[in-house]
Structure 1
Amino acid sequence: MSFLKRPNDVLFRVLVVVASTSLAALCLLVIYSVVMRYVFSDAPDFVEPIALLLVIVIAMFGAALKVREGGHIGLDSLVKKLPTKGQTAAAWIQHLCLITFAVAVFFGCLEMAMTTRGDRIPILGLPEALRYSIPVIASICIAMFSFEHLLALFAKKHK
């Protein structure tokens, strides 16, 4: 199982840095925008499209990070009342559903990225496909983290 754990550890650390940096940048960007708008009456045009990209990064990478930590939305109160085998079955179903979700996001966003690759984000001039590339990366991370959890469940079962 270490063949997947070590790369996932590195990937996790990278996602933490990227998501944290994006959150800090978003905070600074909003403060800058508010000061420019209300103090200097000069609202910068570029703030909104950059903020949207940062929010996408924070949300998608944050979701992947919570999958790795096992802190995603679940029905813990119901699962905790199940017997041990039921809890294990629920965990299997949960991670299989997450992988299915990740595959759907991957292919849906990949198609959108391919469709919009020639378009540009207004004001920034960046490719519109960038908006859809972020969830593609996050979906790969979600699938890898869920697969790691499934391998851990499988290893635990065979001990």
Structure 2
Amino acid sequence: MSSSSTPASAEVSNEVSNEVSPALPEEKLNAAPNLYTRFCATLARACMALGITGLVLLVIAVLVQVFGRYVLNDTPTWAETIAMLLVLYVTMLGTAVGVRDAGHIGLESLLVLAPERIRIKIELLIHVLVGTFGAVMAWNCALLALSVADYKLPTLGISEGWRYLPPVIAGTLIVLFSIEHLIAVVKGTEVEPAWH
């Protein structure tokens, strides 16, 4: 009786192992993109937190300007320069997050009508073009930042290169987020917005 039950249990264990083992390579294949997606989502949330902090600091800088001009009759020149820098940082970080979370302007009405095979190719092309734009922007602004690094902002005493750093950061993030979108299109999934 025990000998007859042993082959049956062996068959069951073989079936179970056959069912489990093919899933393992697929899990390993999906682990890297999922890890990359979590990394990009963390970056996007950090950009949003920095953007919100930048907006608060921008409001404070403008209030200092207004207070200095109308109450003290002595406008602090540094406040205006800081406000300009903050606008650049907030805008560029917001742009990068907008690319990841599909918050940018897009014309998708014709794309929806296209056959799936063509739609996927067009989506891949769009993300490649956006990533290329980000790379070109980051590269050229890095060159600009290096070319003016020796000059100082007179009111703050810091390098002029700080003006060109935000597009370098944003361009790099756009490349990373475009790669995430390319992976999502190939996998047939969608990128979850960072604020969800």
Query: AA paired with 2:100?
Result: R
Deviations 1:103-152 (A, max 9, x none): 11011011011111111111101111111122111111111011001001
For the residues of structure 2 that align with 1:137 and 1:54, how far apart are their CA atoms?
14
Are 1:7 and 2:39 an aligned pair?
yes
- TM-score w.r.t. the length of structure 2 is 0.75
For the residues of structure 1 that align with 2:63 and 2:110, how far apart are their CA atoms?
42
- TM-score w.r.t. the length of structure 1 is 0.91
Shift of 1:87: 3.1
Shift of 1:35: 2.4
Query: AA paired with 1:137?
Result: I
Ranges of 4+ aligned residues in structure 1 off by more than 4 Å: none
Shift of 1:80: 3.0
Shift of 1:22: 0.5
Q: Within 5 A, what are the aligned runs for 1:6-155?
A: 6-155=38-187
Q: Is the CA contact 2:62–2:80 (under 8 Å) kept in the aligned structure 1?
A: no
For the residues of structure 2 that align with 1:93 and 1:48, how far apart are their CA atoms?
41
For the residues of structure 2 that align with 1:119 and 1:34, how far apart are their CA atoms?
28
Shift of 1:31: 2.0
The 3 A distance-change label for structure 1 pair 42 and 151 is same
Q: Tell me which structure has the larger Cα radius of gyration.
A: 2
For the residues of structure 1 that align with 2:95 and 2:108, how far apart are their CA atoms?
18
Work out the percentage of aligned pairs sharing the same amino acid: 34
User: Which is further off, 88-97 or 42-51?
Assistant: 88-97
Secondary structure (helix, strand or coil) at the match of 1:46 reads helix
Unaligned runs of 5+ in 2: 1-32, 190-196
For the residues of structure 2 that align with 1:69 and 1:32, how far apart are their CA atoms?
34
Unaligned runs of 5+ in 1: none
RMSD (CA atoms): 1.6
Secondary structure (helix, strand or coil) at the match of 1:135 reads helix
Shift of 1:81: 3.3
Q: Which has the higher contact order (CA 8 A, sep 6+)?
A: 1
For the residues of structure 1 that align with 2:56 and 2:109, how far apart are their CA atoms?
34
